[in-house]
Amino acid sequence: MKKLAMIGCGGIGGYHLSHFLEFNDIKLAGFCDLILERAEGFVEKAGSGKAFTDYKEMYDEIQPDMVFICIPPTQHGEIEFETIRRGIPFFVEKPVALDLDLARKIRDEAKKAGLITASGFQCRYSNLVEPNVKFIKDKEIVFVDCTRMGGVPMVDWWRNKDTSGGQIVEQTIHQFDIIRYVFDEPEMVFTMGTRGFVNEIEDYNTDDLSTTVVRFRNGALAAISTGCYATSGDSFESKIVFSARDSRAELRILSDLKLFGYEDENEVTADEESEGFVVKGDGGMGASNVEGIVYKQDGDAGILCDRTFIDAVITGDASKIRSPYEDAIRSLEFTLACNKSMETGLPVKIENK
């Protein structure tokens, strides 16, 4: 049975642990956090393993077969290089770093070592991806309109752009990533940000709102807006619209995908009709002449993301991993380019080195 270790026992670590508890073919062997009580709490929840505050000591003692690295964005580097040196396959939560050159060095060393890697872009494992991709292949997309509005997470390092990268890099990177995955690679970005609306939070130092214009390699454009100014769920929004000349797809990642002006050639009987849409709860499609067609999220894409990496380590076959470390860097570059544009006031070309 393969031994799994975890570095970082905070909120996102707990998210992954909840998935691991459903698996019976791995051994939860070690948990490491700078705060020992957190690691001990994970041991208690897991019902196995040992708590550590030093990841090298954990590696020495338990000899893990894989590791999940769930740490704040500024802490990347030494941990990954040591993990690579020891030949341990690793899963890294996004963003994989705040320094693109550092991330590229980690990528190159992992590739040289032949290690299986993955990153925490669980939205790629959603059942909404396949119909979204099919729609985009069938239609010529001219414009992508993306909005993600929410509040400020009550995490110290998140509220400081220097330690989180800001909302684009730390949070809305999921939207940037899924646009890359289902549509096209970005060629250039131009971003404007604003501050001064969020003034009631102590030690807050990041952008309240930003809007990015993207030019893709195929010539299409996008507008991606993200804000953390909202104080009520009534102000929250999260949606990506892929617009063609005669149809559109509206994606709310990990929720639903609505298709307008589009019918699939495979007609399936609808399970339920609601609000003018044909609803299919298991990821299938119902064809009808009503206003639109909708896919609903089926299951937890996050558990599939974790399971796919674990299976890759167990079998040695990484072909089903949808976001290896090497690809995650491209989403990091996409978002860091937006920050650079905000800083300089100029468009920034995506290099994709």
Instruction: Report pLDDT digits (tens) over 192-224.
Output: 999 999 999 999 999 999 999 999 999 999 999
3 state DSSP class of 215: strand
pLDDT for 154 = 87
Q: What is the pLDDT of residues 134-163, one digit of tens each?
A: 999 999 999 999 999 999 998 999 999 999
Instruction: Indicate whether 30 pLDDT > 50.
Output: yes
pLDDT at 291: 63
256-260/292-296 β-pairing:
antiparallel
Note the pLDDT of residue 273: 41
pLDDT for residue 329 is more than 90: yes
Instruction: Place 344 in a pLDDT band, splitting at 50, 70 and 90.
Output: very high
Q: What is the pLDDT of residue 268?
A: 36
Residue 112 has pLDDT above 90, yes or no: yes
Residue 17 pLDDT greater than 70, yes or no = yes
- Radius of gyration from C-alpha coordinates of the chain: 21
* Per-residue pLDDT band at 20 (split at 50, 70, 90): very high
Chain segment 239-298, per-residue pLDDT in tens: 999 999 999 999 999 999 999 999 865 433 334 444 444 544 444 444 333 468 999 999
97 — pLDDT class (breaks 50, 70, 90):
very high
The pLDDT of residue 192 is 98
CB 182, CB 253: distance < 8 Å: no
Pull the structure tokens for residue 332.
């990091």
pLDDT at 292: 82
Q: How many degrees, rounded to 5, is the angle at CA 254 between CA 273 and CA 131? A: 65
Task: Please name the residues in contact with 286: beta carbons below 8 A apart, sequence gap of 6 or more.
Answer: 268, 269, 270, 271, 278, 279, 280, 293
What pLDDT sits at residue 228? 98
Under 8 Å between Cβ of 43 and 51:
yes
45 or 278: which leads in pLDDT:
45
Instruction: Give residue 353's pLDDT.
Output: 78
Specify whether the backbone of 215 is left (phi greater than 0), alpha (psi in -120 to 50) or beta: beta
Task: Supply the pTM of this predicted model.
Answer: 0.92
- Can you give the pLDDT at residue 275? 41
Query: Most distant CA pair in the chain: distance in Å?
Result: 62
Count of CB atoms within 10 A of residue 289's CB?
6
pLDDT at 290: 44
Q: What percent of the chain has pLDDT over 70?
A: 92
Domains and CATH numbers, the chain: 2-123+303-323 (3.40.50.720), 126-299+336-344 (3.30.360.10)
pLDDT for the residue numbered 281: 42
